Structure 1
Amino acid sequence: MKYLFKTSLCILALSIGFVSCRDSEKEDEKTEVQELMEDPDNKVEVKDDGNKIKIETAEGDEIKIKMDDGEYKKKVDRADGSESKLKIEDGEVKKKTDN
């Protein structure tokens, strides 16, 4: 009986430890956009109840994200003159890069 009780107690302690570690990792994960928005050096504009986001970074990059009729569009104009566009519609991702 002692052996069964000790084993059950150890298994319970391990399972609680694994669950608590897993939850803390989820809280630490942030998307690239969230990190850019929280950076105090960046200028952030949000319009149309969050459907349009414009971020200007300290390096001179300009990032525009908008949602239009169920599709997401992301446009990045870099300070060096290059540009990239990302479009997500119906689960399909289209990427275009201009240098």
Structure 2
Amino acid sequence: MIFSINASQSSAPVQLQKGCAMTFRAARPGVLRVTSGRVWATMSPQDTRDLVLTTGSEMAMPARQDVVVEAWPLGDGGVADLVWESAPTNLL
């Protein structure tokens, strides 16, 4: 199952179940933070890095950056919680 979020403002936490993927598109600069669990993150075609982010990890994203994240279970835990935080406008 794939979901898409156009991240332009700070968001409420998003929960990904095991096997679910989500595309985050940063409309503005900001930070994608993992608040619990673990995700596999694949950047857009212009940036071919794959990252593993765990609880407390975050990834800064410039405007117009895409990243696909998929919950990657740790032990018995099958979910990952994420939150998007837009950069303050005075930093843009």
Identify whether the pair has TM-score above 0.5, normalized to the shorter chain.
Answer: no
Higher helix share: 1
- Using CA pairs under 8 Å that are at least 6 residues apart, name the structure with larger relative contact order, 1 or 2: 2
Higher strand share: 2
The structure number with the bigger radius of gyration is: 1
TM value normalised by structure 2: 0.26
TM value normalised by structure 1: 0.25
